[in-house]
Amino acid sequence: MKKIIYFDVEEYEKDFLTKNNEGIYNYTLISEPLNSMTQIPNELLDAEIISVFTTSRVTADVLKNFKNLKLIALRSVGFNHIDLEYCKTNKISVVNTPNYGNKSVAEFAFGLMLNVCRKIIPAETDYKNMIIKPETLMGTELGGKTIGIIGLGAIGAAFARLAFGFDMKILGYDLYPNKELIEKYNIEYTDFETILKESDFISLHAPLTKDNFHLFNAEAFKKMKKNAVIINTARGELIDSEALYNAITTGEILGAGLDVLESENTINDFDLVIGLNRLTKDELKNTLINSRLFQLPNVIITPHMAYNTNEAIERILNTTMENIKSFITDKVQNSVIK
């Protein structure tokens, strides 16, 4: 019987995982993420399969503890939190759950954009506190504005559909232009510089790679419109947090809607919060900057929850179990290692 450890397990996942593992696999459910601080009982270190979410940080040092590991089943699309080079070298398969949250993430990103440009959250907070000053809550319409979309894969395409419905002019930046999207939503594919200079709003839907780390840096923000708003539901490291903070506080851009942050695990992982001595210099700096971003009135930050709908969670769990079953029968599906 295969031994599986599921990390990052939420309460709402436990019934599903129990039902689909009981009597089939030797399984363990652990609510904590997997990282360098996770205390794993010795009797679990011979697991052949582990499953993690994006809150885990699966480095080579972590993986060295699992001597029999053959598969990492991700409950996510992204895989930048996994040391793929170590996995390649040690013949560990890594599979993900693609297309589970296309609509969920796109709708949430659009919600962030609406909230920032129409100041919905500040308005609701003020009204509850009996502060009625409409002049401080002046917003801007989306219709007729230009939206730049970075990454037009499944999620970016779903976002484009919403933008088209709001009568926005759509600029797209992607390595592989999609003719169907041009026909459906009048998308104008262009270069990164044009996106920066002409967009009123920019929404990020690209995977994180070594080539686009800090794609939005100080130089990029200087080229954007002063009334521009940036939305990020992809990966925090696409944006240089310090450059973003400076751009907003100096008026280079207007604001941001962020569901992801650089070094966000230092916020939501209690072990890291109390073990600050384990953080790198960059992680400590990002943690400080994130705390400052939280304080800005024209920035909305949510806890990496764009994917979090009933429908998306169901797709994640079903695909995860299908990936594991396929692997055991020597049919690897949804591999992220090419």
- Residue 188 maps to a domain: yes
The pair of structure tokens assigned to 333 is: 């599906």
Whether 167 and 86 map to the same domain: the answer is no
Whether 245 and 145 map to the same domain: the answer is yes
- Judge contact between 8 and 31, C-beta under 8 A: yes
Q: Known catalytic residues?
A: 235, 264, 304
Whether 173 and 74 map to the same domain: the answer is no
- Residue 338 maps to a domain: no
Residue 2 CB-half CA count within 13 A: 17
> How does residue 269 score in pLDDT terms, banded at 50, 70 and 90?
low
What confidence tens digit (pLDDT) does each residue in 121-130 have?
988 988 899 9
What confidence tens digit (pLDDT) does each residue in 173-193 have?
999 999 999 999 999 999 999
Look up the domain containing 39 and give its range. Answer: 3-100+310-328
Whether 189 and 216 map to the same domain: the answer is yes
Whether 116 and 90 map to the same domain: the answer is no
Question: Which of 60, 48, 59, 93 lies closest to 74 in space, CA to CA?
Answer: 93
Q: What is the pLDDT of residue 49?
A: 98
What confidence tens digit (pLDDT) does each residue in 293-324 have?
999 999 999 999 999 999 999 999 999 999 99
CATH code of the domain covering residue 75: 3.40.50.720
Whether 181 and 164 map to the same domain: the answer is yes
Whether 84 and 106 map to the same domain: the answer is no
- Judge contact between 125 and 146, C-beta under 8 A: no
Whether 296 and 154 map to the same domain: the answer is yes
| Count of domains for the chain | 2
Whether 19 and 139 map to the same domain: the answer is no
Whether 22 and 160 map to the same domain: the answer is no
